[in-house]
Amino acid sequence: MKTIINVIVGVTAVVVLTSCVPSTYSGPGTQRQFLEARYQCLREVKTITNSYGGYGLYGGGLNVYSGPSCGELASCMALKGYTMDENGKFSVPPDQEVRCVR
């Protein structure tokens, strides 16, 4: 039973932690305008705190993380004309990527 719970918690953690906002977008303007719009959105959307935990062979643990709301961030960017697109021309520099919270 503990093994099943550990697997479920592990899979859930991976899904939650890898459900980031894609770092490429399509939309109008220049890379600088895109980054300015993104910065404004990150300042405007609320921060959500989420947690997950589980018990394993050697005890349990709880991980807490926070970040901008994925839905609100996507909506704000859409209002500014930018949509998530794997083939988009705008990208977020790796050192500026932000993990959103669902």
Q: Can you give the pTM of this predicted structure?
A: 0.64
Q: Which two tokens stand for residue 88?
A: 């988009």
State which amino acid sits at residue 39. Y
What CA–CA distance (Å, rounded) separates 23 from 57? 37
pLDDT at 1: 53
Residues 6+ apart with CB under 8 A from 90: 24, 25, 26, 27, 31, 34, 82
What CA–CA distance (Å, rounded) separates 96 from 81?
20
Tokens of 93: 């520099």
23-43 pLDDT, tens digit each = 789 999 999 999 999 999 999
Q: pLDDT band at residue 21, thresholds of 50, 70 and 90?
A: very low
**Strand ranges (E), the chain:** 24-26, 47-56, 59-68, 83-84, 90-91
Tally of residues, the chain: 102
- Residue 99 confidence (pLDDT): 84
Parse the chain into domains and list their residue ranges: 2-95
Q: CA–CA distance from 60 to each of 14, 20, 53 (Å)?
A: 17, 26, 7
Q: Given a cut of 50, is residue 8 above it in pLDDT? A: no
pLDDT digits (tens, 9 = 90+) for 54-100: 666 676 677 777 788 889 999 999 999 999 999 999 999 888 888 88
pLDDT value at residue 52: 65
